[in-house]
Amino acid sequence: MYDAKAMASEGLLRIGELSRRTGVKPDLLRAWERRYGLLEPERSAGGFRLYAPASVDRIEAMQEQLARGLSAAEAARLALLEGSEPTRSASIDVLVAELGDALDDYDEPRAQAVFDRMLSAFSVDAVLRDAVLPFLHELGLRWERGEVSVAQEHFASSLIRGRLLGLARGWGGGAGPVAILACPPGEEHDLGLLALGIVLHDRGWRVAYLGPDTPMETLAGAATRVGANVIVLAAVSAKRFEEAAGALKHLATRHRIALAGPGATEALAKRTGALRLAGGPVDEAERLAADRR
Amino acid sequence: MYDAKAMASEGLLRIGELSRRTGVKPDLLRAWERRYGLLEPERSAGGFRLYAPASVDRIEAMQEQLARGLSAAEAARLALLEGSEPTRSASIDVLVAELGDALDDYDEPRAQAVFDRMLSAFSVDAVLRDAVLPFLHELGLRWERGEVSVAQEHFASSLIRGRLLGLARGWGGGAGPVAILACPPGEEHDLGLLALGIVLHDRGWRVAYLGPDTPMETLAGAATRVGANVIVLAAVSAKRFEEAAGALKHLATRHRIALAGPGATEALAKRTGALRLAGGPVDEAERLAADRR
Amino acid sequence: MYDAKAMASEGLLRIGELSRRTGVKPDLLRAWERRYGLLEPERSAGGFRLYAPASVDRIEAMQEQLARGLSAAEAARLALLEGSEPTRSASIDVLVAELGDALDDYDEPRAQAVFDRMLSAFSVDAVLRDAVLPFLHELGLRWERGEVSVAQEHFASSLIRGRLLGLARGWGGGAGPVAILACPPGEEHDLGLLALGIVLHDRGWRVAYLGPDTPMETLAGAATRVGANVIVLAAVSAKRFEEAAGALKHLATRHRIALAGPGATEALAKRTGALRLAGGPVDEAERLAADRR
DNA sequence: ATAGGTTTTGTCAAGCTTTTGTACAT
DNA sequence: ATGTACAAAAGCTTGACAAAACCTAT
């Protein structure tokens, strides 16, 4: 459930209540603690034992082993082993895995906490390149394999979008070159584009973000209005670009265009006169930023 | 003249009559006046108290609070307060206008700054109800009239979404009842739903947000998984709900459903057995929060 | 204030009524307050407890936990957590106050959480200008008045420095103009300078941060090497600038110098040929960024 | 498992103050 | 009508107490 597992602060039990919940008499609980270190409860100011709710699990594991006929010492050893949690060496891979778990469980606070930890330990670039984008990619694959529900996918996207937009705050400011970011009509996947914008701003660019499903006709006006140095369009599906190819070609006569995402093929770029950003958002943003015009 | 006097005293009650109408003894009425300033009656030439008929209402309000168990002092304070609505600060309108200007100009930092000022000067509820939502509504109208380009509309939406998602951080946490928020298939406008979720969380609820264009089939699973107390669906167009009516009806047999947004018609709610949230996101969130189950 | 709102709308309860509504005897309510701080009611002029209606919820939460078998102390802890957990969106003033409380209590996790909340709801500019810098200023005043210990001041400073350094990560990158930031010899207060650097970077500048107590001789070399567009020096005390006046004057012949902080007097700026940044770090960074050279 | 001591927590009492409805003299 | 008075009801603080729950050690 949502709350039971949520927090370490979910409510500490005194020995009586633990006894009631497990059916093991307090004296015996103390004996197991003394003899096998089965539990190491906190203590109240006055010395009372205070057990975490998870202790119930360990006691039950102990009971199960006993029921199988093991000796108490042996049972305790196994029960201890079962719950042993490796302390987190916060490599980013581990954090990505934890992020995935949290999102699969619709556990928003935990997912946010993982994000916080990632951002406090790694640079924004690294978090985007090595955590967020791979995670999204993996999420897509799992979705195709039917391993995640649409609800889970939506939940994850929405949370990640919130964090990326948070990182993006203020990205229209400064004095650097200006980029307009948008997805072509019909294209709704904009998270990669968001990541690209964040990195671009980190490299000194200003960003005007129009987001998913943006009609081509409106781009020229916006580009002129903000004095854009480049218009970046991103799509997962090449079809979106194809459908907009005519408008693209026309737009490219007046503005510098870059196409990004899996849908941006070399052929299309050549045909429309646009620059193709074939790599990941972070790398391509960096490349784009490097040869500013 | 007789007339003048009659007009002046017309409808005015003396203390005996007021007492008779309210059942409060004259002595006590005087005590309430002396101690709490509950009433400030006119005086006749001879010094008699002359009460306006509305005084009866105030006395009754006082009695009602007393019946609820409040102290006399508290009851009087509330009875006095009743009717003196706090004047809505006009300055938020100015800020809304400035927000509009900034967004029209693609001026992201300025728009963010306006948001900052709004949030530091007003409650989140007020910012949502009196600034963000009216602005979005106005934006929609201007778009229909062709006064804003799609690019401007996208830019504004994306920025506002970022702010709302920022306010939403942590909304899955806490210990209150749980709501699932989503838009039916085909519906992309989720900003109102976001606002609703924010207010809901502020009232102690936990929120799992699935966002726009969510297939109905996936909702039941998610609802069960998080132990949802209610599923809120929002759509601007009634058509989206109609298309999902069958699934809605079925879902409503197992979960509590609420329909929000302009597309949520009374007829549809009745037909599917869902609750209809006909008002604005802030008010309806409050209403929903009030009768938590 | 928060209670103003609650008071206005709801009506405060005396202990008897609260007891009646919850079924908990007044004596016990007082005991819970005394022992666990479960409630902190307002007081009437004469000293009677006046409870907000929401208190009923908290009492009920307490009762629920008790029914689950938890000790009173634990139950109270959870009931308190639950009430405070719906991280209510709060204005920045409230958050600053909470930050102060957390830091005074050496409560690092809570302080970090407050920071997170501020950053999720407000822009970096706003957090620096309206929260961090006022807080530091206030902290200085309280320290002068002996209201905070040196330990508290250190704890607060170092935590804030950590957060600012977090925000500053990666600020040497990009392609914008370059600023060197340093404090003159003897000057240790660099938090304002850090804030200035953060805003500067947000405006597209690259920042080389040399920090407190930097010998003047090293500046020229560094400035030449990184091609600095400006050198910003900050000091709280004018004395530090005075002592370095000679070097400053010389430096200003070859580089653009800006003096910031309370120690940056107009006279000194004139005498040394430096630009004076008289305002707060955020505003001045913006000004500086605007007239880049 | 028992014994002997400690902590926790609900309850109560004593003595005093505040609040509030009612009464009464002017 | 006014001003004052009064007493019942409700509350406050301090301090204490005892049953229940828990501790350690034997």
Report pLDDT digits (tens) over A192-247. 999 999 999 988 899 999 999 999 999 999 999 999 999 999 999 999 999 999 99
> Could you report the per-residue pLDDT of B115-142, keeping only the tens digit for each?
999 998 899 999 999 999 999 999 999 9
Backbone phi, psi, residue B267, to 5°: -55, -45
What is the token pair recorded at C253? 């012949």
Evaluate if residue C83 carries a pLDDT over 90.
Answer: no
pLDDT tens for the 293 residues of chain B, in order: 433 443 444 578 899 989 999 999 999 999 999 999 999 888 888 888 999 988 899 999 999 999 989 999 999 988 988 765 444 556 889 999 999 999 999 999 999 999 999 998 899 999 999 999 999 999 999 999 999 999 999 999 999 999 999 999 999 987 789 999 999 999 999 999 999 999 999 988 999 999 999 999 999 999 999 999 999 999 999 999 999 999 999 999 999 999 999 999 999 999 999 999 999 999 999 899 887 54
Residue A99: the pLDDT is 96
Average pLDDT over residues A177-192: 96
Treating both helix axes as pointing N-terminal to C-terminal, what angle do C245-254 and C216-226 enclose, rounded to 10 degrees? Answer: 20
State what percent of residues in chain C have pLDDT above 90.
70
| Pairwise CA distance, residues A291 & B221, whole Å | 49
* Chain C residues inside the 8 Å CB shell of B116: 122-123, 125-126, 130
The set of long-range contacts for A95-100, using a CB threshold of 8 Å and a minimum separation of 24, is A95/A121, A95/A131, A96/A130, A96/A131, A96/A134, A96/A135, A99/A131, A99/A135, A100/A135, A100/A138, A100/A139
| Pairwise CA distance, residues A24 & A51, whole Å | 14
State what percent of residues in chain C have pLDDT above 70.
94
pLDDT band at C2 (very low <50, low <70, confident <90, very high): very low
User: Stated in angstroms, how far is B34 CA from E7 C1'?
Assistant: 20
For chain A, the average pLDDT equals: 90
Residue B89: the pLDDT is 58
Residue B86: the pLDDT is 46
Which residues in window 68-107 of B are less than 7 A from strand D by Cβ? 71-74
Top residue of B62, B119, B206 to mutate, by most chain C CBs within 10 Å, is B119
* Chain A residues inside the 8 Å CB shell of B149: 218, 221-222
Top residue of A163, A165, A191 to mutate, by most chain B CBs within 10 Å, is A165
* Chain B (59-88) residues lying within 8 Å, Cβ to Cβ, of chain C: 65, 68-71, 73-75, 77-78, 81, 86
DSSP state at residue A130: I
Residue C84: the pLDDT is 57
CB contact under 8 A, B150 and A214: yes
Residue A88: the pLDDT is 42
> Could you report the per-residue pLDDT of A78-103, keeping only the tens digit for each?
888 876 544 444 688 989 999 999 99
Q: Which of C21, C44, C116 sits opposite B73 (nearest CB)?
A: C44
Residue C281: the pLDDT is 93
User: Stated in angstroms, how far is B57 CA from D16 C1'?
Assistant: 39
Q: In terms of pLDDT, which residue wins out, B40 or C172?
A: B40
Q: Using the CB atom, is residue B66 less than 7 Å from strand D? A: yes
State what percent of residues in chain B have pLDDT above 70.
93
Q: What is the 3-state secondary structure (H, E, C) of chain C?
A: CHHHHHHHHCCCECHHHHHHHHCCCHHHHHHHHHHHCCCCCEECCCCCEEECCCHHHHHHHHHHHHHCCCCHHHHHHHHHHHHHCCCCCCCHHHHHHHHHHHHHCCCHHHHHHHHHHHHHHCCHHHHHHHHHHHHHHHHHHHHHCCCCCHHHHHHHHHHHHHHHHHHHCCCCCCCCCEEEEECCCCCCCCHHHHHHHHHHHHCCCEEEEEECCCCHHHHHHHHHHHCCCEEEEECCCHHHHHHCHHHHHHHHHHCCEEEECCCCCHHHHHHHCCEEECCCHHHHHHHHHHCCC
Report yes or no: A114 at the B interface, CB cutoff 8 Å. Answer: no
Evaluate if residue C11 carries a pLDDT over 70.
Answer: yes
Residue B83: the pLDDT is 60
Residue B6: the pLDDT is 39
Instruction: Give the gap in angstroms from C-alpha B206 to the nearest C-alpha of chain A.
Output: 10
CB contact under 8 A, B119 and C122: yes
Q: Which amino acid is at A179?
A: A
DSSP state at residue B89: P
Name the least confident of A51-65, B218-232, C16-30.
A51-65
User: Stated in angstroms, how far is B50 CA from E9 C1'?
Assistant: 32
What is the token pair recorded at A104? 């699969």
CB contact under 8 A, B106 and A226: yes
Give nucleotides in strand E with any atom < 7 A to a protein C-beta: 1-5, 10-14, 16, 21-24
Report yes or no: B122 at the A interface, CB cutoff 8 Å. Answer: no
pLDDT band at A70 (very low <50, low <70, confident <90, very high): confident
How many A/C residue pairs have CB atoms within 8 Å?
A: 80
Residue C236: the pLDDT is 94
| Pairwise CA distance, residues A169 & A165, whole Å | 6
CB contact under 8 A, C125 and B113: yes
pLDDT band at C81 (very low <50, low <70, confident <90, very high): confident
Instruction: Identify, with chain letter, the residue nearest to nucleotide D17 (CA–C1').
Output: C46
Q: Using the CB atom, is residue A93 less than 7 Å from strand D? A: no
User: Stated in angstroms, how far is C137 CA from D7 C1'?
Assistant: 45
CB contact under 8 A, B113 and C122: no
| Pairwise CA distance, residues A147 & C235, whole Å | 58
Instruction: Give the gap in angstroms from C-alpha A20 to the nearest C-alpha of chain B.
Output: 24
Residue B2: the pLDDT is 39
User: Stated in angstroms, how far is C17 CA from E18 C1'?
Assistant: 29
User: Stated in angstroms, how far is C61 CA from D2 C1'?
Assistant: 39
- Give the residues across from C178 on adjacent strands: C206
Q: Which of C71, C116, C170 sits opposite A116 (nearest CB)?
A: C116
Instruction: Give the gap in angstroms from C-alpha B280 to the nearest C-alpha of chain A.
Output: 22
How many A/B residue pairs have CB atoms within 8 Å?
A: 125
